[in-house]
Amino acid sequence: METKIRQFRQKLGMTQQELADSVGVTRQTVNALENARYNPSLLLAYKITKILGKKYIEDVFIFESDD
Burial of 18 (0-12, 13-18, 19+ CB in 10 A): middle
**Does residue 67 fall inside a structural domain?**
no
2 phi and psi, to 5 degrees? -75, 150
The pTM of the full predicted model, rounded to 2 decimals, is 0.91
Q: What CATH number should be reported for the domain holding residue 57?
A: 1.10.260.40
User: Based on the structure, what is the number of domains in the chain?
Assistant: 1
What is the DSSP code (8-state) at residue 42? H
Q: What percent of the chain has pLDDT over 70?
A: 96
Q: 39 is in which domain, residue-wise? A: 2-62
pLDDT digits (tens, 9 = 90+) for 46-55: 999 999 999 9
Mean pLDDT across the stretch 40-59? Answer: 97
